[in-house]
Amino acid sequence: MNKLGLYIHIPFCETKCPYCDFNTYSGIENLIPEYMDALNKEIRFWGSSLQGNYLVDTIFLGGGTPSYLPSNQLMTINQNLINSFCFDDDLEFTMEVNPGDIIASSAINTKNTKINRLSLGVQSLDDSLLKVLGRRHSSDDACDAFKIARKSGFNNLSIDLIYGIPYQSMAQWEQTLKRSLELQPEHISAYCLTLEEGTPMHYQVGVGRLPEPDPDLAADMYLTADAILKEAGYSNYEISNWAQLGMESRHNLRYWLNDDYIGVGPGAHSHLEHFRFHNLKSPRQYIQTLKELNDTTINLDNISDSLDELPFIGGYEHIDKSTKIVESIMLGLRLGKGINKLKFKEQFGKEIQDIFPSQLSDLTSSCLIEDTGEYLKLNSDAKLLANEVIVRFLE
C-alpha cells in the first residue's frame, strides 16, 4: 500500500502569541466539544475513504496547542485514528506541546496513546526574550518540561527555537543554543522570526514600540546555529532543521518530498495524488459543514468531483506535471541532501540537467549548487541565498 501522512489541527490556544499568523484562536474554548465532534467525523470520513489504499506512517498533531486539550480528548482522537486507519509498524506520531501545559500538570497526558514524539515550543531560553515573544513559560519551565517529557519515556524529543527576535543579541542566542544542547534533544528546529502583517508584533515594530530585527544579525545567528549544532553532532537535513542520526522528522520530510498527506481540521492543507486542497479556515464554518456531511466517501478515481461535493473543502487545484517539477525543485533544494537525480528522472521521465541545462551550468559555476553525482544540492555557503537560488533555477 501507498504511505500517507496525517496532519491534525487543534486551533485552540490559551493566549495567542503576538507574532503568530497561524490559524489559531484564544477565547473560543466553548467550541471545543462541537469541534471535537467535527474533527473526529472528518477523521472517520478519511479513514472510510482511504483505508485499504493507504498505510499511515506519520501523524502530526499540531496547532494551536494540542496539549491544551484534556487528556480524554486526546484519547478520543487516538482511538478514532486506530479505528479509522491502518498504521505502519514504524509509525511516527508527533504532538506539539506548550512547556507551560506540561509544568501545570507535572505530566504528559499521552499515556495509552500512540503518540511517540513530542515537539516542544521552547522558542527561547532567555526570560527577557520570552516576554517579548509573549510566551507564558519561563526558560526554567521549558527545561523542566523537557525533563518531565524525558522521564515520561519519550526517546524522541524536538524543540523549536526562534532567532531574529527584537532586542536579541548574539550572546543570548548562543546561550539558548548551549542550554538546548545540554538537554540533548534528538531534534532542533530554528526559525527566523517573521513579522507577518496583521499580527500585534508587526504593528508594534511598525509604530516603534519594538525595534526592527537586524536581518544581517539574523543571518549570522543562523550560521552560528548551524556551526554549533553540527559541532554537537546534529545534521542539517533541512534548512531550518537539525537532527541526530536517524532522528529526522519523517512527517515534515513528507512535505519537502512532495509525498501524500491529509490535513484534518479548519484550514488544514492536503496533498493527495495529483491534487492539493484545503479545508475551510473558520472553526465555526468547519463545525457547521461537518454537521452537514452525510455518510459519503471520496472517489479516488475521480477526486475533483468528490472534492466539489464535500462541504468542508475550501478549495482545491490539480497539480500538473510542470507545477510538480517546479515544486520538486523548490522543496528539494531545502533538503540537506538536495534533489535525488535518479528519483527526479523516474518521476518526470527526463534528466534534471536536460530540463534546466543553462540554469544548472550557471548555478554550479557560481558555486551555489553542488552536483554530488547522486544529488543536486545547495552549496553549504549558499543556504542563506536559498530563495534567490531557487528563483534563478526556475527562470
Percentage of the residues of the chain whose pLDDT score is greater than 70: 99
Say how far apart CA 55 and CA 380 lie, in whole Å: 36
Which residue(s) pair with 87 in the sheet?
56
Average pLDDT over residues 69-97: 95
pLDDT of 106 strictly over 80: no
Phi-psi region of 212 (alpha: psi -120 to 50; beta: other; left: phi over 0): beta
65 burial type by CB count under 10 A (0-12 exposed, 13-18 middle, 19+ buried)? buried
What's the CATH code, domain 321-393? 1.10.10.920
For domain 2-255, the CATH superfamily is: tm_1862 like domain (3.80.30.20)
pLDDT at 353 over 80: yes
Q: Which amino acid is present at 160?
A: D
Mean pLDDT across 324-342 = 95
- Taking alpha carbons only, the member of 43, 5, 85, 63 closest to residue 250 is 5
Burial class, 327, CB count within 10 angstroms (exposed 0-12 / middle 13-18 / buried 19+): middle
In the predicted structure, residue 317 carries a pLDDT above the cut 70? yes
pLDDT tens, residue by residue, 28-52: 999 999 999 999 999 999 999 998 8
**Residue 151 pLDDT class (50, 70, 90 cuts):** very high
- How much is the mean pLDDT over the chain? 95
pLDDT for res 240:
97
> Residue 103's pLDDT band (boundaries 50, 70, 90)?
confident
Q: Which residues contact 393 (CB under 8 A, 6 or more apart)?
A: 329, 333, 356, 359, 360, 363, 369
Predicted model pTM: 0.96
With 70 as the cut, is the pLDDT of residue 107 above it?
no
User: What pLDDT digit, counting tens, does each position of 229-261 carry?
Assistant: 999 999 999 999 999 999 999 999 999 999 999
State the pLDDT at residue 46: 97
**What's the distance, CA 63 to chain centroid?**
10
The amino acid sitting at 182 is E
Task: Parse the chain into domains and list their residue ranges.
Answer: 2-255, 321-393
The predicted structure's pLDDT at residue 301: 84
